[in-house]
Chains A and B, each alone.
Chain A
């Protein structure tokens, strides 16, 4: 028991620096933002009383939180959120990214991994090709996509000999722009998934496949009955992290459309995502932190729910 106590102290000391930093930069802000989400008319860092009373004329009493002022506690921010068309658009865009691009991307990655695992020649070459997007900067890739799908000089329009079809430039439809974004995020996310799946497949004992071969198992059954179940911990890991990543999608939209816009010229909120919406709310000039906090809380709850759901499913379907 004494030994255990001594060890616990050592562990606490070793963990302290990380815990301290996380407390300051992660836990404290999270708690704060949860509180802010329920503060009505919360404005941060407005020292000038004049400005505040200008924004809320007739407001008699207000309270302070973290140096900002608010008029009351309630769900005013959430009401605002769900009446805001931009937020609804963001929810819709994010949901499509999550529920369409992630499954497609996981399936494609699985297929490519199986293919890579079954060839011997040129495997290294293909592995490198598929891994390249992972080591390349997101913004740089976005710029490449931006030019590949450009209305005038884009490779895609040239290749298929289409005149003036706008994918991501002025006049683009939501469908076409979303298609480009999907292609981009699926392809960009493949690299990491393939690496994880490949290493998982290589750690599966070859004898399972030999045993299956001796028992005359067709290829498709080998894949569904042996490879997939034995790979299921990796598939779960990739699915959960990809879902989380897709819920937080932001930089790929920015990368495709250019600085600070979420859509083609003329409709700059077309492909806005929840994270994009949250960032916009934290615009320094306005600082209505309450709405941003409420939006991030909504995102948090969605991710929490989906992940919980996935974990429940995994209890039945994942074999460690």
Chain B
């Protein structure tokens, strides 16, 4: 019944044509340097170039302090870049103040004005634009209904749940029909259940409005689940931009491979010798490498492993955890301190102490120094 209601509202929203002029966002060699209190130079964002296609939902993903929020605030205009340019379509907005850029920004803690009702919060941007009162009221109601808070208009923010506050913040950001919607850690203040629900909401709202949307997150699952494409960042540098599944399956380097995936990828030190990749226990994983002899890292995603008597990885099972649908196996591999983790179908028969061999569907090989992926 609730689902039906959703659909009804969506259709209504569509018939009212909440269509935003979607615009491509282009960042060219964007750099931001800070001097901290001791006068030390920090490069928060380093020569960052990316083209965000019009009407897409893009996740900026990276660990804390990687410069993703700084990038978002530079797109918003609240931070001034040290170098580089920002384009909305063909328009250079690098030196344009935030209020002229036509952006909607949703803050991490929503920044709803606590003394105003939901209605007044949503109306606030329109009052600045001097929209006639009746039209503004109608627009606000329309936005509130788009985000499904139409019945909460007379409440104050502190009478709302986190998820509802989030929706008000999105409505306030969208009501002035911005060209770009920016969301800073949109789900981080919500509990686990709400998070699932809200991320679908964000996806739906983005779809319905067709607005170019950029959101920042440190949660890879969040980014992968709703983004059309994700941009992985580390230390201010762009690592990779692609569709979530492509980034997951074809990481460009070891950082990306390690950052995406839960449980995380297994990384083992190995070496290339005469074109062969050899583990510390002497097992040969691959042959026919053209790279010179050197130390490398190999990466094996837990779900890529299957127990197979003819497999290439030799291990001894230490723990078996049955987690419903799957079984997680923790194994010892000779010559390594850390364990190998494998996720296998639950019908797989295995027990602790058993010596097994694993085969894999895919193996990543990384340069030991740069982390760059060879294969």
Contact = CB atoms under 8 A, between A and B. Distances in A.
B128 A217 contact: yes
B157 to A, nearest CB: 11
A211 B128 contact: no
Given A210-B78, A214-B76, A215-B124, A319 B115 contact: yes
Interface string B29-43: 000000000000000
Contacts of A221: 127-128
A217 B125 CA distance: 8
A207 interface: yes
21 contacts: A208-B111, A208-B113, A210-B78, A212-B124, A213-B98, A213-B99, A214-B76, A214-B98, A214-B99, A214-B104, A215-B124, A215-B128, A215-B176, A216-B99, A216-B100, A216-B125, A217-B124, A218-B128, A229-B113, A229-B115, A232-B115
A218 B97 CA distance: 13
A271 interface: no
Interface string A242-278: 0000000000000000000000000000000000000
A221 B120 CA distance: 14
A226 interface: yes
A205 interface: yes
Interface in B218-262: none
Given A216-B99, A216-B129, A207 B114 contact: no
Nearest to A217: B128
A221 B126 CA distance: 13
A230 interface: yes
Contacts of A230: 114-115
B111 A210 contact: yes
Contacts of A218: 128
Contacts of A207: 107, 109, 111
Contacts, number: 56
A205 B76 CA distance: 18
Contacts of B328: none
Interface residues of B, number: 23
Interface of B: 76-78, 97-100, 103-105, 107, 109, 111, 113-115, 124-125, 127-129, 172, 176
Nearest to B109: A207
A213 B96 CA distance: 13
A208 B172 CA distance: 13
A205 B109 contact: yes
Interface in A187-234: 205, 207-208, 210-218, 221, 225-226, 229-230, 232
Nearest to A218: B128
Contacts of B114: 230, 319
A255 to B, nearest CB: 40
Given A215-B128, A216-B129, A230-B114, A210 B99 contact: no
Contacts of A216: 99-100, 125, 128-129
| Number of chain A interface residues as a range | 10 to 19
Nearest to A209: B111
Which of B97, B98, B104, B113 counts the most A-chain CB atoms under 10 A from its CB?
B113
A141 to B, nearest CB: 37
Contact of B125 (A205, A215, A319): A215
Contact of A211 (B77, B107, B129): B107
Nearest to A215: B125
A232 B113 CA distance: 14
Contacts of A208: 111, 113
Contacts of B124: 212, 215, 217, 225
A81 B106 CA distance: 63
Nearest to A211: B111
A212 B121 CA distance: 11
Nearest to A232: B115
B285 to A, nearest CB: 51
Interface in A140-195: none
Nearest to B182: A214
Contacts of B128: 215-218, 221
Given A208-B113, A211-B107, A319-B115, 17 more contacts: A207-B107, A207-B109, A208-B111, A210-B105, A213-B78, A214-B98, A214-B99, A214-B103, A215-B99, A215-B124, A215-B125, A216-B99, A216-B129, A217-B124, A217-B128, A226-B113, A230-B115
